[in-house]
Amino acid sequence: AAFGVGLFPTTSNKLNKKSYQNSDDDEFPWKFEGRAVLCPMIVQVDDRQLRAKAKAAGVEHGDLPYQPWSLGGWSVGGVVALEYDDSPVGPYIEYVDLGCFAALLHQLEGQDGSRFVLGQVGSRLYVNEPKAMTLCERVWSLEALRATADVVEKHGGTLSTFFPEEQTILDKVLPSIPVTNIPLWWTPTITAIWAQLIPRLPWAKSDPTPLALNRLRISGQAKWVPRRVPDLENSSKGETS
């Protein structure tokens, strides 16, 4: 699916370098354009890894500030592969391993009530360019792993692998669905993306959490394309620098 993404700065990242801002929209100063593929799968929830990531994000004792939704230790996860043509650091490729489906009750700042959101929490994020690793760290305090050749192969290769020139009959019949400025929320420190499906809950109370909800909006064309599922076994062979 072709897409465009705008990211909104929150209080937690106002001090980051403005040199990375690449949009004329002051409300969403970071812009990403390209294409993405979502491959949902049933995955085993790695509770230890999720708690370690939450602790690294500033959550005391590594307790999970969100509620994973799983059955018998299994949840809906998968992989997202993204190929950016334009970003604050130019073109690069990104892969995100999705660790579980989850719900979050987030206390509203300066208001009564909470925001209830549903989404996907990532377990690992890979990029193929060192400059993209630096961008993730400096702007969003997000640790990105280096996408080595074996990681790229296990995630299905480049996005051209998902979109070959020869199309099936089903590809031609299924229509593309336009989406414009879909509002979402993003928590970079735990690589999570959320959707608010119901209005805020003025009566709901929740404990304050250090996890920020950054505003995100997506526009583009969405289409279901039947393709092979990537092999994510041992995909954690990334390099850090």
Average pLDDT of the residues of the chain: 75
Strand partners, 34: 3, 84
The pLDDT of residue 236 is above 50? no
Confidence of residue 8 (pLDDT cuts 50, 70, 90): very low
pLDDT of residue 105: 81
Judged on CB neighbours under 10 Å (0-12, 13-18, 19+), 7 is buried
Strand partners, 226: none
Is residue 32 a contact partner of residue 165, using CB atoms and an 8 Å limit? Answer: no
pLDDT of residue 12: 40
pLDDT of residue 51: 86
Q: pTM for the whole thing?
A: 0.76
Q: Give the separation between CA 40 and CA 229, rounded to whole angstroms.
A: 8
> What does the buried/exposed string (b/e) look like for 206-225 if buried means 16 or more CB atoms within 10 Å of the residue's CB?
beebebbbbebbbebeeeee
The pLDDT of residue 103 is above 80? yes
| Mean pLDDT confidence for 11-25 | 61
Long-range contacts of 129-132 (CB under 8 A, 24+ apart): 129/89, 129/90, 129/92, 129/93, 130/241, 131/89, 131/90, 131/92, 132/87, 132/89, 132/92, 132/94
